[in-house]
Amino acid sequence: MANGKLYLIPSPLGEGAVADSVPPRNIYIMESLKHFVVEEVTTARRFLSRCGMKGKIEALNFYELNEHTDPSVGAGYVSLLLEGNDVGLISEAGLPAVADPGNVLVAAAHKAGIQVVPLVGPSSLMMALMASGLQGQNFAFNGYLPVKEEARRSKLRFYEAHSRKMNQSQIFIETPYRNDSLLASIMDTCSSSTMLTVAADISLPAEFIRTMSVGQWKKTGIKIGKRPCVFIILG
């Protein structure tokens, strides 16, 4: 029996029209699958329904892989592929296995000799970078900064200095309810000349993407609120 393929299926970054970010080929592949490893079952079911699979959802099998899943369980889903099943891996939003725990299954698939097939779709990180006007040939994604203020400022000083030395854009994300706290830390910690991109609600009707110096941002009185947001600095 031949092994199945692991399809990495990007999902929209919000509740915008599916056709705006999901290519027809992705939908064709999703319709052929019976097994999905997902970050959250409810979100995945809603996504598949929006893609035209309403009425077919109950016949599908879902397996959760998120931050609360034991890594051994996530890696264990490779058995589905070894049994000859094609499997779709879906993140909550954007690209599977990028700032997402799905990499555990992808790594297990490679170890088992399973073919991994990445599909085209939205990436808030890359869309923010391409729209930023900052250094796009040398960049780093640093995930979440520390929650505690002093530790966060220390990390910001480190990344700003590294950015300036290496001419390297530094990308961060934050839990939406802490967006304004992180923005305040950036403006209080970084040099006024450091460039900062704020990219919120990417690909959605309320999309906001703007790049200015920290000094210019301080004059705006901006409040981001609880919106998905990407931050980029370049010293």
Note whether 87 and 6 are within 8 A (CB). Answer: yes
Note whether 121 and 11 are within 8 A (CB). Answer: yes
Rg (CA), the chain: 20
Q: Please state, for a pLDDT cut of 90, what percent of the chain lies above it.
A: 78
**DSSP assignment of 78-120:** HHHHHTT--EEEE-SSBSTTSSSTTHHHHHHHHHTT-EEEEPP
b or e along 45-66 (b: 16 or more beta carbons within 10 Å of the residue's beta carbon)?
bebbebbebeeeeeebebbebe
The residue among 150, 92, 89, 139 whose CA lies nearest residue 115 is 89
pLDDT of res. 100: 87
pLDDT of res. 1: 73
pLDDT tens for 175-199 read: 999 999 999 999 999 999 999 999 9
Spans in the chain with pLDDT lower than 70: 16
pLDDT of res. 69: 86
- Amino acid identity of residue 187, one-letter, is M
pLDDT of res. 177: 93
Overall residue count recorded for the chain in this entry: 235
Enumerate domains of the chain plus CATH numbers.
5-118 (3.40.1010.10), 124-234 (3.30.950.10)
pLDDT of res. 76: 87
Its pTM stands at 0.89
pLDDT tens for 114-126 read: 999 999 999 999 9
